[in-house]
């Protein structure tokens, strides 16, 4: 009861000098914030990869032939099948794997007609490998009599519907000059998904356009003439060709790194120089090795907290001096030395809790700002409860310890002397 | 300095000693802020400087002409072979240029261990001149050596292929790879003896590679810059198709001339992501790339400064508030000094001298603390901290600034009070 009374008294003091208390709590506030916000981003992204991996593209790998090598050997369907077998043998099986040859519309083709941004001919599994799902109809079948069967992406399906004729069953002029029949429409992707490239970056994000994209180019990462991938207006037809332009692979998000290595080795062994694209940030974030870098946040947290604790001790020492008459009166009224000490310690407790709670709010704000500057489309943040609890405990312990010396000084004062001085 | 001011400054410094515990605690706050400052500056600028030095060794006076790294399905592959090489030689004629054609493949190399994604580069004996790197061991191959008779390895490739016993990992020497045989995938008889090992220009390779998730997405040309290559004589890969042609110029003036001449035939490679304007063959001037990369690391270092600036700002706010609180108990003393004839500026100087003394002492305490902290972090996270006396000087300067800023406001407030009001207890 006595403790609660002291807490109430401390809260009253905090309300009495809110600005000064806020300024003195800067160490705790920033210490908690700088230690929590990187963890919030890391844990939020880990959760997103685990629970929404397919939605954010954390489970996809795209393969193409290296455009800079001397005398390259073409990428064939059998190479892709060899990758499938190798993945299975390595214990990281493909959820879906499809290779396609891409035909883009020619310049002579009429712009007014509803024309797919690209025709992808290959295994229908490529749709699933790209993370696309059927919304209406079915996937195309190969070898059917008559015009080729095609499945169209969401926005192209919408455009066909807008002509007044239902997309399903409609005849569609294809970039290779043929006319196909639409047998399926894929679900429309979200605007963010449509802006995301094979490396997982939002291609319209200012940071990607200004910094990240240039950095990747400087590191020797090729860029593809692949804007069609982000139109949501492509058509897929089943078929087999000699060479393939792109291969799309989907594996469990936690297997991406290992699967990419297996695919790379398999293609190299077959004499093919390939480049493999997957969002590099997700495996990096999932890498537990990264946890040791939390030490840096921890060091900053402790540095801030030590500063905050020392300032609290300093102010406490002064308060013990200034409040000597008040303490003496308490003593005369019957308060024991331990009551006086508890009052000072309770103030340290209340100040620390106030600092930590403000620090949590600041950490959430910083995490939000960090995400706003992040061009990686699937990065997000989540409040890290376990770490937040640790910051609370550590801050309160340091805050109370900081008030120990002033509490002992205040408790040791002789009430008679203090009142006589006054 | 006026003689009237001097006693006030001395009084300010003396006051620090008179309140040892409180002064010590304030100095500790300052010391922690300076320890963080020393750490962050050492990391930031050490890294920035090292990366710039590394980049500078990639051959600043070299121009690369080759296919642009653009994946364009369905488009015809750009022709780049002997006629283009002849054209390049003609364009740089009279500039004392060294022209080195390069053919490369991506292979798996096998020595004592296997190294996937090794770049096998077939080059002429002039190739080392396109870089600014020394041999770590052995020699480069000569004009009289042909085919897969000999090879030179990049240091990191040599280390991967011939790692030696795990117990002697720290003592690995490039010399241990000399005379050993390496097999390359891609055909029969592709086996060569290592005659030389090229130094690694990358200071932080192990740190970089442990988090390099993008390796698989780099082209062969990009992989060349990661220095995990094996070099063989030019005729080892007899393809008429070239990967790239390196042109090394003797100085910046002739580099500029060569760049202009080459760009009349092929456009400069652009770092803008514009597939619609990228030509199939482009001219890549390393100097331009180095300057751009240097700017990126400089921006990174600048952003890194925000950490210590934030910590110092927090320390400054707290010390200022602390000073505002503690100065109240000295209103009487300062009022008496005013009555004795001290001017406001004298009192400001006295309080500021006190704050300055504490912060500089705190700053000096913070230097060894920062060093100790860096040692601990270095062991845990393998961060490449680099200390420099200049950074220590900057940190002490920051400490002094911290002391000045955090004491001026309380000092001015105290000096501005009416001594009569203070002494008659109308101000407390």
3-state SS, chain B, equals: CCCCCHHHHHHHHHHHHHCHHHHHHHHHHHHHHHHHHHHHHHHHHHHHHHHHHHHHCCCCCEEEEEECCEECCCCCCCCCEHHHHHHHHHHCCCCCCEEEEEEEEEEEEECCCEEEEEEEEEECCCHHHHCCCCEEEECCCCCCCCHHHEEEEEHHHHHHHCCCCHHHHHHCCHHHHCCCEEEECCCCCCEEEEEEEECCCCCCHHHHHHCCCCHHHCCHHHHHCCCCEEEEEHHHCCCCECCEEEEECCCHHHHHHHHHHHHHHCCECCCCCCCCCCCCEEEEEHHHHHHHHHHHHHHHHHHHHHHHHHHHHHHHHHHHHHHHHHHHHHHHHHHHHHHCCCCHHHHHHHHHHHHHHHHHHHHHHHHHHHHHHHHHHHHHHCCCCCCCHHHHHHHHHHHHHHHHHHHHHHHHHHHCCCHHHHHCCCCC
Q: List the single residue in B with minimal CA-CA distance to A298.
A: B377
pLDDT of residue A212: 84
**Distance between CA B229 and CA B256 in Å, rounded?**
29
* Domain C-terminal end among A215, A243, A278: A278
In this structure, what token pair is assigned to residue B185?
A: 């995938």
Least confident range of A195-199, B78-82, B164-168, B223-227: B223-227
Considering the domain architecture, whether residues A313 and A225 belong to the same structural domain is answered as: no
Is the Cβ pair A287, B211 closer than 8 Å? yes
More reliable by pLDDT, A330 or B195: B195
Task: Output the CA–CA distances (angstroms, integers) from residue A398 to A213, A294, B150, B315, B323, in the order listed.
Answer: 45, 20, 65, 17, 22
Structure confidence at residue B79 (pLDDT): 84
Q: Is A376 helix (H, G, I), strand (E, B) or coil?
A: strand
Last residue in a domain, options A257, A278, A299 = A278
pLDDT at A365: 96
Q: Angle CA(A367)–CA(A372)–CA(A378) in degrees, nearest 5?
A: 85
Give the bridge partners for A179, in sequence order. A173
Of B223 and A93, the structure prediction assigns the larger pLDDT to A93
Q: Which pLDDT does position A205 carry in this prediction?
A: 94
The distance of Cα A412 from the centroid of its chain, to the nearest Å, equals 54
Does any CB of chain B come closer than 8 Å to the CB of residue A283? yes
Residues 6+ apart with CB under 8 A from B111: B161, B162, B177, B180, B181, B182, B183
| CA–CA distance, A124 with A98 (Å, rounded to integer) | 7
Q: Looking at CA atoms only, how far is residue A161 from chain B in angstroms?
A: 30
- Quote the pLDDT of residue A375: 92
Q: Please tell me if residue A112 touches chain B, with a CB cutoff of 8 Å.
A: no
CB contact under 8 A, B69 and A213: no
- Specify whether A19 is located in the same domain as A79: no
Among A6-15, A332-341, B16-25, B256-265, top mean pLDDT goes to B256-265
Strand B135-138 and strand A179-186: pairing? unpaired
Q: Give the count of domains, chain A.
A: 2
Looking at residue A228, the DSSP 8-state letter turns out to be G
Residues A251 and A205 in one domain: yes
Q: How confident is the model at residue B137 (pLDDT cuts 50, 70, 90)?
A: very high
Mutation target for B interface from A68, A284, A376: give the one with most B CBs within 10 A: A68
- Does residue A22 sit in the same domain as residue A81? no
- Identify all chain A residues contacting B324, using CB atoms and an 8 Å cutoff: 20
Nearest to A324 by CA among A419, A246, A404: A419
Tell me what pLDDT residue B67 has: 85
Q: Which residue has the higher pLDDT, B225 or A339?
A: A339
Residues A101 and A192 in one domain: yes
**Which range is least confidently modeled, A95-99, B238-242, B302-306?**
B302-306
Please give chain A's pLDDT, 422 residues, in tens: 567 787 787 788 778 878 878 887 888 898 899 889 989 999 999 999 988 888 899 999 999 988 877 777 889 999 999 999 999 999 999 999 999 999 888 766 665 568 899 999 999 999 999 999 999 999 998 776 778 899 999 999 999 999 888 889 999 988 888 889 999 999 999 999 999 999 999 999 999 988 888 778 777 788 777 889 999 999 999 988 778 899 999 999 989 999 999 999 899 888 888 899 999 888 888 877 777 777 778 888 888 888 888 888 888 888 887 788 888 888 888 888 888 888 888 888 988 999 999 999 999 999 999 999 999 998 999 999 999 999 999 999 988 888 888 888 888 888 877 777 65
Query: Are A115 and A246 part of one and the same domain?
Result: yes
Alpha-carbon torsion angle A157, A159, A164, A168, nearest 10: -10
What pLDDT score does B325 carry? 82
Tell me the chain B residues in contact with residue A293 when contact means C-beta distances shorter than 8 Å.
381
Q: Place B263 in a pLDDT band, splitting at 50, 70 and 90.
A: very high
| Residues B325, A226: C-beta atoms closer than 8 Å | no
Choose the most confident range, by mean pLDDT, from A194-198, B70-74, B285-289, B290-294: A194-198
Chain A: residue whose CA lies nearest to B81: A70
Judge whether residue B368 has pLDDT over 80. Answer: yes
Are residues A184 and A77 part of one domain? yes
Nearest to A67 among B36, B219, B226 (CB): B219
Q: What is the pLDDT of residue B387?
A: 75
Cα of A77 to nearest chain B Cα, Å: 15
Q: List phi, psi (to 5°) of A321.
A: -75, -50
Instruction: Please report the pLDDT score of residue A181 as a whole number.
Output: 92
Are residues A14 and A106 located together in one domain of the fold? no
Q: Does B250 have pLDDT greater than 70?
A: yes
* Greater pLDDT, B299 or B257: B257
CA-wise closest residue to A25 among A362, A308, A232: A308
Residue A258: inside a domain: yes
DSSP letters, A175-209, are: TTS-EEEEEEEEPPPPHHHHHB-TTSBBTT-HHII
Give pLDDT, residue A108: 67
pLDDT at position A97: 95
From residue A24, give the alpha-carbon distance in Å to each of A29, A301, B363: 10, 16, 20
**A214, A273, A293 member nearest B381 (Cβ):** A293
Residue A167 lies inside a defined structural domain of this protein: yes
Domain ranges of chain B: 6-53+298-423, 59-293
Cα B347–B353–B357 angle (5° rounding)? 155
Contacts of B305 by beta carbon, 8 Å cutoff, 6+ apart: B40, B41, B44
- pLDDT bin (cut points 50, 70, 90) of residue B273 is low
Query: Cβ(A231)–Cβ(A115) under 8 Å?
Result: no
Q: Within 13 Å of residue B35, how many CA atoms lie on the same side as its CB?
A: 26
Are residue A230 and residue A338 in the same domain, yes or no? no
pLDDT at B168 over 80: no
Sign of the dihedral through C-alpha B371, B373, B379, B385: negative
Q: Which of A220, A264, A314 is the closest to B69 by Cβ? A: A220
Q: Does A385 share its domain with A323? A: yes
Taking contacts as CB-CB distances below 8 angstroms, the residues of chain A near B27 are none
Domain residues for the domain of A220 are: 59-278
B277 pLDDT more than 70: no
Q: Looking at residues B36-58, what average pLDDT do you find?
A: 83
Q: Among A17, A29, A70, A402, pick the best mutation site for testing chain B contact (most B Cβ within 10 A).
A: A70
Q: Which of B36, B76, B106, B242 to mutate to test the interface with A (most CBs of A within 10 A)?
A: B106
- Please judge whether B218 and A221 are an interchain contact, meaning their C-beta atoms are less than 8 angstroms apart: yes
Q: Is residue A284 part of a domain?
A: no
Same domain, A270 and A128: yes
Burial (0-12, 13-18, 19+ Cβ within 10 Å), A242:
exposed
pLDDT category of residue B281 using cuts at 50, 70 and 90:
confident
């Amino acid at each position: 009861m006595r403790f609660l009374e002291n807490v109430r008294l401390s809260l009253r003091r905090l309300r009495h000098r809110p600005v000064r208390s806020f300024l003195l709590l800067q160490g705790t506030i920033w210490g908690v914030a700088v230690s929590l916000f990187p963890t919030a981003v890391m844990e939020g992204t880990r959760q997103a990869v685990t629970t929404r991996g397919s939605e954010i593209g954390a489970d996809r790998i795209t393969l193409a032939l290296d455009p800079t090598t001397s005398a390259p050997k073409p990428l064939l369907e059998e190479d892709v099948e060899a990758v499938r077998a190798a993945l299975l043998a390595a214990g990281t099986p493909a959820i879906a794997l499809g290779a396609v040859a891409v035909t883009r519309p020619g310049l002579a083709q009429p712009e007014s007609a509803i024309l797919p941004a690209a025709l992808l001919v290959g295994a229908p599994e490529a749709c699933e490998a790209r993370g696309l799902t059927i919304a209406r109809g079915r996937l195309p079948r190969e070898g059917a009599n008559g015009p080729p069967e095609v499945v169209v992406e969401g926005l192209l399906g919408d455009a066909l519907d807008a002509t007044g004729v239902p997309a399903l069953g409609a005849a569609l002029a294809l970039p290779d000059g043929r006319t196909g029949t639409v047998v399926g429409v894929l679900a429309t992707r979200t605007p963010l998904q449509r802006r995301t490239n094979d490396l997982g970056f939002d291609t319209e994000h200012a940071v990607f356009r200004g910094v990240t994209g240039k950095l990747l180019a400087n590191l020797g990462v090729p860029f593809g003439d692949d804007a069609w991938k982000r139109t949501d207006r492509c058509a897929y037809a089943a078929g087999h060709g000699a060479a393939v332009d792109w291969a799309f692979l989907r594996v469990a998000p936690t297997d991406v790194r290992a699967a990419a290595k297996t695919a790379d080795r398999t293609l190299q062994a077959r004499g093919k120089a390939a480049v493999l694209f997957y969002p590099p940030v997700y495996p990096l974030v999932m890498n537990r090795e990264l946890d040791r870098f939390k030490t840096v946040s921890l060091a900053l947290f402790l540095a801030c907290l030590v500063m905050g604790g020392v300032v609290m001790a300093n102010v406490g020492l002064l308060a013990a001096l200034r409040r000597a008459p008040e303490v003496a009166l308490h003593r005369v009224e019957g308060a024991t030395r331990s009551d006086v000490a508890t009052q000072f310690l309770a103030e340290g407790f209340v100040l620390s809790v106030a600092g930590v709670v403000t620090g949590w709010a600041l950490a959430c704000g910083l995490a939000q700002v960090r995400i706003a500057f992040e061009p990686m489309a699937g990065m997000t943040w989540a409040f890290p409860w376990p770490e937040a609890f640790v910051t609370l405990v550590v801050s309160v312990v340091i805050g109370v310890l900081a008030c120990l010396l002033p509490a002992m000084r205040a408790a040791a004062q002789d009430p008679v002397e203090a009142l006589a001085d006054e | 300095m006026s003689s009237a001011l001097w006693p006030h400054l001395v009084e300010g410094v003396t006051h620090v000693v008179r309140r040892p515990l409180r002064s010590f605690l304030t100095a500790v706050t300052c010391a922690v802020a300076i320890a963080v400052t020393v750490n962050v500056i050492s990391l930031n600028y050490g890294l920035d400087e090292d990366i710039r030095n590394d980049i500078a060794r990639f051959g600043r006076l070299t121009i690369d002409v080759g296919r642009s790294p653009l994946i364009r399905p369905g488009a015809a592959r750009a022709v780049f072979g002997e006629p283009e090489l002849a054209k390049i030689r003609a364009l740089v004629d009279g500039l004392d240029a060294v022209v080195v054609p390069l053919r490369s493949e991506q292979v798996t190399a096998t020595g004592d261990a296997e190294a996937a994604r090794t770049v096998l580069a077939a080059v002429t004996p002039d190739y080392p001149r396109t870089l600014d790197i020394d041999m770590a061991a052995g020699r480069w191959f000569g004009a009289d050596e042909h085919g897969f008779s000999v090879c030179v390895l990049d240091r990191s490739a040599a280390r991967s292929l011939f790692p030696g016993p795990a117990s002697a990992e720290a003592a690995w020497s490039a010399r241990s790879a000399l005379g050993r045989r390496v097999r390359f995938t891609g055909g029969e008889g592709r086996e060569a003896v290592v005659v030389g090992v090229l130094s690694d220009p990358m200071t932080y390779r192990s740190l970089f590679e442990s988090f390099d998730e993008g390796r698989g997405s780099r082209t062969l040309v990009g992989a060349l810059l990661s220095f995990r290559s094996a070099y063989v004589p030019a005729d080892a890969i007899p393809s008429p198709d070239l990967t790239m042609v390196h042109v090394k110029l003797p100085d910046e003036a002739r580099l500029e001339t060569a760049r202009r001449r080459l760009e009349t035939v092929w456009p400069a490679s652009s770092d803008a992501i514009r597939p619609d304007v990228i030509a199939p063959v482009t001219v890549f001037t390393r100097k331009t790339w180095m300057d751009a990369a240097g700017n990126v690391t400089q921006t990174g270092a600048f952003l890194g400064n925000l950490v210590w600036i934030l910590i110092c700002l927090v320390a400054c706010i707290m010390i200022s508030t602390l000073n505002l609180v503690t100065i109240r108990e000295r209103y009487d003393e300062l009022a008496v000094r005013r009555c004795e004839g001290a001017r406001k500026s004298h009192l400001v100087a006295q309080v500021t001298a006190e704050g300055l003394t504490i912060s500089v002492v705190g700053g000096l305490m913070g230097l060894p603390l920062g060093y100790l902290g860096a040692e601990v972090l270095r062991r845990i996270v393998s961060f490449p901290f680099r200390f420099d006396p200049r950074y220590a000087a900057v940190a002490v300067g920051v400490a002094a600034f911290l002391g000045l800023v955090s004491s001026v406001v309380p000092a001015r407030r105290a000096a501005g009070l009416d001594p009569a009001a203070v002494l008659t207890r109308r101000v407390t």
